[in-house]
Amino acid sequence: MAGSDPQQGISRRQVLRLASLAAGSAAISVGCGPGATGRLPASPPKNGSPAREAAVSRVVLIRSEDRVRGTRAAIEALRPAGLGDRRVFLKPNYNTGDPAPAATDTALLEALVRELRNAGAAAITVGDRSGMADTRRAMEAKGVFRLADRLGFEALVLDELGREDWQRVAAEGTHWPRGFAFARPALEAGAVVNTCCLKTHRFGGHVTLSLKNTVGLVAKTLPGESHNYMGDLHSSPHQRLMIAEINQAYAPALVLLDGVEAFVSGGPEAGRKVRPGVILAGTDRVAVDVVAIALLRSLGTTAEVERGSIWEQEQIRRAVELGLGAATAEQIEIVTADRASQALADDLRRIIAA
């Protein structure tokens, strides 16, 4: 099926289902050749999602002005499983190469890589596709390649992948008019770690948190083809629903959100910056994003982010519909380590439940 268009008549027998490999694992098997076309499952992968099992999702909240110490403390408190002896794909936020919260802080990235090694990761790949910048230049500006040489991980520019390194996912069940193409290095890893920033998004996403960070794993164009998948996303009135839908392709083993600094308006590359001094960590990306939106509201943010229940924010509502994570305030437990963190967590719980 090399070169086939997802809109053309592909029978159900010819389409390979995406299927989760194991609870807590982020790897998904999606076909066997360069032109294979995946189809999102009728039900999301059975990866232990609290929305399906009514379990409680833990979100660790650490008050810290030091990203390195905060990262270590958050991972120690969370103790995520499914990283030992796995090939880990680490998805940062390099939409641009600007300082945090526009892009992943390099000291935080180093701390996170070291913690993954301590957890027994067999190999680590750090990869991204920028939205507003040239990806290689953005990663160079952030010192990623120098860090990779020093720490011994692979730094991967997703824009430079060959066509065979992208998995097509059909449009069925989504608002993507021609489906989308997802980076195989993430799908074929043993675990995916999503590290994101705390910020608003003025171009239609409303917020850029863990769900939105996944957009960097979707191709803009495929080599040899002219169709622009990001054009589909950014021109659609369903943009926020489409952001949630691409997250069906994988389940994260860890989400780490840097809220030491935040954009409470503007974004994603620049905006009104405040300093909440918070690191969040969890394995449920819906729960992490819900807590992060509550944090933005507590700081004073845009009308779009402030409006209505957090659970009615379109990225969150669609993710819940798809069974990607917590579905109610009662399914989120905020875990803290000190009184200052506990006081903030109590405020955020009230916002989440409103």
Based on the number of CB atoms within 10 Å of its own CB, is 296 exposed (0-12), middle (13-18) or buried (19 or more)?
buried
Least confident of 43-57, 103-117, 331-345: 43-57
Q: Give the per-residue pLDDT at 271.
A: 97
d(Cα 115, Cα 129) in Å, to the nearest integer?
Answer: 24
Domain presence at residue 105: yes
Q: Give tens-digit pLDDT for 228-267.
A: 999 999 999 999 999 999 999 999 999 999 999 999 999 9
pTM of this structure: 0.88
Q: Using the predicted structure, report yes or no on whether residue 37 has a pLDDT greater than 90.
A: no
**CA-based radius of gyration for the chain:** 19
Q: What percentage of residues in the chain have a pLDDT greater than 70?
A: 85
Collect all residues with Cβ–Cβ distance below 8 Å to 15 and sequence separation of at least 6: 37, 38, 39, 170
Q: Give the per-residue pLDDT at 41.
A: 53
Q: Give the per-residue pLDDT at 165.
A: 98
pLDDT tier for residue 54 given thresholds of 50, 70 and 90: low
Give the dihedral of Cα atoms 42, 43, 45, 46; nearest 10 deg. Answer: -150
Domain presence at residue 123: yes
Domain presence at residue 167: yes
d(Cα 220, Cα 159) in Å, to the nearest integer?
Answer: 8
d(Cα 128, Cα 138) in Å, to the nearest integer?
Answer: 10
Looking at the DSSP bridge assignments, the partners of residue 282 are 59, 255
d(Cα 21, Cα 29) in Å, to the nearest integer?
Answer: 7
Domain presence at residue 35: no
Domain presence at residue 68: yes
Domain presence at residue 69: yes
6-10 contacts, C-beta under 8 A, 24 or more apart: 6/37, 6/168, 6/169, 6/170, 6/171, 6/178, 6/179, 7/171, 7/177, 7/178, 7/179, 10/37, 10/170
Q: Give the per-residue pLDDT at 340.
A: 87
d(Cα 179, Cα 232) in Å, to the nearest integer?
Answer: 9
Q: Using the predicted structure, report yes or no on whether residue 66 has a pLDDT greater than 90.
A: yes
Q: Give tens-digit pLDDT for 252-311.
A: 999 999 999 999 999 999 999 999 999 999 999 999 999 999 999 999 999 999 999 999
Q: Residue 266: which domain range?
A: 46-353
Q: Tokens for 127, please give them.
A: 């990869």
Rounded mean pLDDT of 198-214?
97
Domain presence at residue 19: no
- The continuous run of DSSP H or E covering 292 comes out as helix 285-299
What is the end-to-end Cα distance of the chain in Å, rounded? 49
Q: Give the per-residue pLDDT at 13.
A: 30
User: Looking at residue 90, which CATH number applies to its domain?
Assistant: 3.40.50.11440
Domain count, the chain: 1
Residue (of 305, 304, 283) closest to 351 by Cα position: 305
Domain presence at residue 220: yes
Looking at the chain, which runs of residues are DSSP E strands?
16-17, 19-20, 28-29, 37-39, 57-63, 87-91, 123-128, 154-157, 166-169, 180-183, 191-201, 206-208, 254-266, 271-274, 278-282, 332-335
Q: Give tens-digit pLDDT for 103-141.
A: 999 999 999 999 999 999 999 999 999 999 999 999 999
